[in-house]
């Protein structure tokens, strides 16, 4: 968890490509589920970043806000495609909405 009012830590370079991906996404109907405040809706910024143990951490915020929230289910094990693949999965899930959580 990154906690409220903080920006997700970008971590350290791994030499395998970016260790942080960020996109603006229009959350689909039903929004996205966070640990701290429940569902958020509308335009959100999502950050997928490297976490210890071969995992990826996902944080979201209302675009333009200061507070960051943990996407429910985060952190998760990285899929075979690594952090980039995880970020792509997360963005797709957020666009679908339905109180989106991390990929399983």
Q: Token match 């999965």: residue? A: 89
Please give the sequence-ordered ranges of beta strands (E in DSSP) within 1-104, or none if there are none: 20-26, 32-34, 38-40, 43-51, 55-62, 69-70, 76-77
Residue 9, in any domain of the structure:
no
Length of the chain: 104
Res 1 pLDDT > 70: no
**By residue range, what is the domain housing residue 74?**
21-96
Q: Are 71 and 91 in contact (CB under 8 A)?
A: no
Give the pLDDT band of residue 101 (cuts 50, 70, 90): very high
For residue range 37-94, list pLDDT tens digits in order: 999 999 999 999 999 999 999 999 999 999 999 999 999 999 999 999 999 999 999 9
Residue 10, in any domain of the structure:
no
> What pLDDT does 8 receive?
52
**3-state DSSP helix/strand/coil % of the chain, to nearest 5:** 15, 35, 50
Q: How many domains does the chain have?
A: 1
> What pLDDT does 10 receive?
45
For residue range 7-29, list pLDDT tens digits in order: 454 444 444 568 999 999 999 99
């Amino acid at each position: 968890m990154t906690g409220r009012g903080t920006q997700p830590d970008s971590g350290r370079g791994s030499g395998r490509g970016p260790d942080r991906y960020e996109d603006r996404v229009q959350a689909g109907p039903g929004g996205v589920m966070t640990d701290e405040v429940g569902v958020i809706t509308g335009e959100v910024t999502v950050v997928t970043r490297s976490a210890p143990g071969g995992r990826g951490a996902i944080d979201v915020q209302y675009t333009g806000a200061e507070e960051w929230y943990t996407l429910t289910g985060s952190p998760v094990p990285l899929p075979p495609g690594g952090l980039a693949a995880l970020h792509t999965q997360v963005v797709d899930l957020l666009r679908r909405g339905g109180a989106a959580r991390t990929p399983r």
